[in-house]
Amino acid sequence: MTRAPRVLVSGACLGQPAGGVRRHNAELLPRLERLLREGGGGLTVMEGRTPVGWELPEAVPRVPSDVPYQPALLRALREGRELNRCAAAAARSGAPFDLVHTAHLPAPARLTLPFTITIHDLRSLDFGGASLARRIVGRRTLQSAVHRARRVLCVSEAMRSRILEEFPTAATKLDLVGNGEDHLDRLPRAPGPSPFMLHVGHVEPRKNLSLIVEAMHRFPALPRLVLAGADKGRSAEHLLAAAEHRGLKGRIELLGAVSDAQLSRLYSTAACAVFPSVLEGFGIGPAEALRAGCPVAVSSIPAHLEVSGDGAVHFAPDSPDDFARTVMECIATSEVRRPPGTTRRWDDCAARWYEALMRASA
């Protein structure tokens, strides 16, 4: 195929709360649409029952569907059928799609078109809190997706290595697209008189926020904690209950999801940003914070080590003492200055995604 492909994106999960996956798509889909259109192709999003959670450019057509975000089983039963319906309608109109793209699991079944998939992490295999049954089902689901997909996209070198470790046959179809960090305004650093630790991301078990609570209990000199991110399940309730039990009532503030403008201000005023996750595929939060000049303390997991490089300090994700030591080291640093030319650009990520789609449609 000499022209760019016409791509149908499954957006059944794009109405989820703000987080890394949503940021990835919100930044890249408009850029990808432009590249595809300029190459003679195009991009359409099939929305789920919950509409896409941000404003798409007018150039991106939206097709409604009744596919639910949750439960995953019901989504899996309906998604392939609805995507095939969209594909058939496009073919009748004289502008057929060439590819389907999805970024969630399970991958749509019984598609009439080839598909590509972005794998953001392997949480069903790697998260210690996953049950044995979930791990067994997760492995089968991942193996099926990797086997059936025309191309498999990932967001970091750490994820690329992990996918190849589990599924060596993916080597011939695996593309590293990555994530960017140049989406927020950078404000001058201006920490206030009441220092705080900032965590950006969903409130959920794999973020390991209980480690911070335990460290704050052991080391009262640590500053208060501000959480910017949506609650998943009842994780926030459980976290606050654990904090109150340890005498930390009032020292943890839950902001929920915040705007980009609010996020820029938080990075500029925080004493440090902290990310104790036990599992990440990339780590947009640390990348954002470092670009903003905010001192960063991250758990020493592969994705964090890759993203933060020499700009952050690292701690063992199972050690409250190590966390406290690292945070105090961060607070002593008022601003991080990264070498010029180290910013990850969304435009570069979009170009890599475009090239992967061109390979998929060749």
**pLDDT reading at 1 higher than 70:** no
SS3 for 79? helix
Instruction: Provide CB contacts within 8 A for 82, sequence distance 6+.
Output: 46, 65, 66, 67
Least confident window among 28-32, 133-137, 142-146: 133-137
Name the CATH superfamily for 6-180+345-361.
Glycogen Phosphorylase B; (3.40.50.2000)
* H/E run at residue 220: none
What pLDDT, in 10s, does the model give residues 156-182?
A: 999 999 999 999 999 999 999 999 999
Q: What is the dihedral of CA 178, 182, 184, 185, to 10 degrees?
A: 170
Per DSSP (E only), the strands in 67-123 are 99-102, 115-119
**pLDDT reading at 337 higher than 70:** yes
Interatomic CA distance for residues 51 and 137, integer angstroms = 28
What pLDDT, in 10s, does the model give residues 91-112?
A: 999 999 999 999 999 999 999 9
**pLDDT reading at 134 higher than 90:** no
Interatomic CA distance for residues 69 and 11, integer angstroms = 9
Give the residue among 18, 20, 48, 44 at the shortest CA–CA distance from 33. 44
Per-residue model confidence (pLDDT) at position 62: 95
Q: Which letter does DSSP use for residue 97 in this model?
A: -
Per-residue model confidence (pLDDT) at position 93: 96
Report the share of the chain in percent with pLDDT over 70: 99
* Helix-, strand-, coil-residue percentages of the chain, each rounded to 5: 40, 15, 40
**pLDDT reading at 68 higher than 90:** yes
Per-residue model confidence (pLDDT) at position 272: 96
Q: Are 296 and 216 in contact (CB under 8 A)?
A: no
* H/E run at residue 284: helix 284-291
Interatomic CA distance for residues 121 and 248, integer angstroms = 33
The highest-confidence range among 7-21, 196-210, 304-318, by mean pLDDT, is 196-210
Place of tokens 């949506």: 230
CATH class for the region spanning 196-331 = alpha beta
Residue 133: pLDDT band with limits 50, 70, 90 = confident
Structure token pair of residue 173: 């179809």
* Own/partner pairs, 340-345, CB within 8 angstroms, 24+ separation: 342/309, 343/181, 343/182, 343/291, 344/178, 344/179, 344/180, 344/181, 344/182, 344/287, 345/180, 345/182
Measured between alpha carbons, how far is residue 118 from residues 47, 136, 152, 156 in Å?
Answer: 17, 21, 6, 11
Interatomic CA distance for residues 148 and 145, integer angstroms = 5
Handedness of CA 221, 226, 232, 233 (dihedral sign): positive
Q: What is the mean pLDDT of residues 183-195?
A: 94
Q: What is the dihedral of CA 291, 292, 296, 299, to 10 degrees?
A: -50
Q: What is the mean pLDDT of residues 227-252?
A: 94
On the question of a common fold for 6-180+345-361 and 196-331, the answer reads yes
Average pLDDT, the chain: 94
**pLDDT reading at 339 higher than 80:** no
Q: What is the mean pLDDT of residues 38-61?
A: 93
Per-residue model confidence (pLDDT) at position 61: 94
**pLDDT reading at 296 higher than 90:** yes
Instruction: Provide CB contacts within 8 A for 297, sequence distance 6+.
Output: 272, 273, 274, 275, 312, 313, 314, 315, 323, 326, 327, 329, 330
Interatomic CA distance for residues 269 and 335, integer angstroms = 11
Instruction: Provide CB contacts within 8 A for 118, sequence distance 6+.
Output: 24, 101, 102, 103, 153, 154, 155, 177
- How many CB atoms neighbour CB 233 within 10 A? 11
User: Domain boundaries in the chain?
Assistant: 6-180+345-361, 196-331
Q: Are 276 and 210 in contact (CB under 8 A)?
A: no
Give the residue among 233, 161, 171, 227 at the shortest CA–CA distance from 196. 227
Per-residue model confidence (pLDDT) at position 157: 96
What pLDDT, in 10s, does the model give residues 255-277?
A: 999 999 999 999 999 999 999 99
Q: Which letter does DSSP use for residue 317 in this model?
A: T
Q: Are 6 and 361 in contact (CB under 8 A)?
A: no
**pLDDT reading at 309 higher than 80:** no
**pLDDT reading at 310 higher than 70:** no
